Amino acid sequence: MEDNKKLNIVMFPWLAFGHMLPFLQLSKRLATKGHHIFFVSTPRNLKRLPNIPENLAPLITLVPLPLPRVENLPPNAEATTDVGFSMGFDLLKKAYDGLQDPMKLFLENSVTTYPLDWIIYDFSCYWLPPIAEKLGIQKAFFSVFGARMLTILGPLSQDNGPAADSFTNAEFLTTPPPWIPFPKSTVYFLPYEDFFSDLIVVRGCLELEGEYLQLVDKLIAEKTVLPVGLLPPSMEESPEDEVHNSIFGWLKKQRSGSVVYVALGSEVEPSQEQLTELALGLELSKLPFLWAFRRSTGSSADLPDGFVERTQDHGLVWMSWAPQLKILQHDSVGGFLTHAGFSSIIETLMFGKPLIMLPLMVDQGINARFMVEIRVGVEIPRNKEDGSFTRSSVAQSLTLVLKDEAGKMYRDEAKKYKPVIANESLHGQYIDKFINHLINYKFET
Ligand SMILES: *[C@@H]1O[C@H](CO)[C@@H](O)[C@H](O)[C@H]1NC(C)=O
């Protein structure tokens, strides 16, 4: 109706950087079109976000809400990366629930001064939609996971879908949902998500997961499901500092496509056995490698004795923050050994590089199997019962994807995705459609 209307939009991501960063990407894209964003998180999380470009700063208001302290939650812990997944998730979830009153207060105060048109929120805040509803704010649930996770959740209505309690049944969680008509993916599970929203927004595009997006649209027929594109990150300007020089100086000396980049993200906690097999497999492959190694707070696992010394002629273990996007872009990097987080996958395919995947938690297994399905990489073979894997399977997977003739297929297929993922105008069109919907929604319903 009024297509040049400027909206006020509240963003409220879960306390994990794998969520805050896609929410921030989405915020920047909306702000670029002149909409005002109120990005709500905790003070320390907001401080750790990448700098907001100067031209967008007036349109992205950071709203710090101090995180209520919860017993056993370490001081200063405000994101999953501060506590580790296994011990910290429940504590953080409890603290996050404690944001209910401050959030309510913020929203109530805001609407007395200016209208809030939409709130875009994450999974795990079941209490937010009723508050927004009361204040007349439209609600959108944003799935940073992509369409595959939603197809696994299945239909909303119990007539065609499983009863809610089947979601807690282990057998149900690990067998293919009966309503997925194409027999492809092989492992399934379900997070808790709610569907009180007016709109479901998915980080995804038809060009990558069209089949799944169409299926989600059918399964959740009661709601509008909108893809917002993949939100590929923009190359942040980073200064030519010391970090830059040592990493890129080293990369420059390596042959084109020869280096395996290794990073498991900051939340994943591999066990000592997993880390040992991974490191020794990497060593066994003899491939040059750059390993961004950051031990998660909740983990005590370390690299095996002597590993760094034995591999220093062809490997670089980098123990602090690494500029992942620029590393992946570098011509020497031939593949990424990754935990298969969705953002890492998008960043890899953006540069047409293949994946060697070791999924360790939440949606990563689903992501990895999907990438195997589209033949842009392999999953390190593992024991189906206990998930264990060996150094030789690590070495074989790496050599296959980076080097062997038999693995050329993965390298070729990955290259084909570059024009899709890196296509700014394609992803821009998704954002435009999304904004159109946000503006016109009220008038349609
Ligand atoms: C990028 O996407 C647009 C819109 O879908 C399309 O017209 C164009 O051909 C794409 N560009 C490339 C390089 O694939």
Q: What confidence tens digit (pLDDT) does each residue in 96-130 have? A: 999 999 999 999 999 999 999 999 998 777 788 88
**pLDDT value, residue 196:** 56
Helix (H, G, I), strand (E, B) or coil at 179: coil
Residue 419 Cβ < 6 Å to ligand 1 = yes
Give yes or no for residue 245 having a pLDDT over 60.
yes
Residue 112 Cβ < 6 Å to ligand 1 = no
Of 209, 199, 104, 90, the closest CA to residue 143 belongs to: 199
Picking from 301-305, 320-324, 371-375, which range would have the lowest pLDDT averaged per residue?
320-324
Mean pLDDT of 318-342: 93
Count up the domains in the chain and report the number: 2
Nearest CA to ligand 1 atom 2: 426
Contact 203, 228 (CB under 8 A): yes
Residues 177 and 253 in one domain: no
> How does pLDDT run across 67-92, given as a tens digit for each residue?
999 998 988 999 988 887 666 777 88
Residues 116 and 199 in one domain: yes
Residues forming beta bridges with residue 426, ordered by sequence position: none
Residues 64 and 197 in one domain: yes
**pLDDT value, residue 280:** 98
Nearest CA to ligand 1 atom 12: 419
With the most atoms of ligand 1 within 8 angstroms of its CB, the residue from 420, 421, 423, 424 to mutate is: 423
Residues 228 and 249 in one domain: no
**pLDDT value, residue 165:** 35
Nearest CA to ligand 1 atom 5: 426
Pairwise CA distance, residues 317 & 381, whole Å: 24
Residues 302 and 433 in one domain: no
- Flag whether 334 is in a domain: yes
CATH number (domain holding residue 209): 3.40.50.2000
Q: Is 10 left (phi over 0), alpha (psi -120 to 50) or beta?
A: beta
Residues 58 and 69 in one domain: yes
Residues 45 and 192 in one domain: yes
Q: How many Å is the maximal CA-CA distance in the chain?
A: 66
Pairwise CA distance, residues 108 & 104, whole Å: 6
Residues 438 and 403 in one domain: no
**pLDDT value, residue 116:** 96
The answer to whether residue 122 is catalytic is yes
In angstroms, what is the span from residue 426 Cα to ligand 1's centroid?
Answer: 6
Give yes or no for residue 188 having a pLDDT over 50.
no
Residues 165 and 257 in one domain: no
The answer to whether residue 117 is catalytic is no
Of 49, 274, 10, the closest CA to residue 142 belongs to: 10
Host domain of residue 223:
8-234+423-444
DSSP string, 4-38: TPPPEEEEE--SSHHHHHHHHHHHHHHHHTT-EEE
Residues 261 and 129 in one domain: no
- Flag whether 1 is in a domain: no
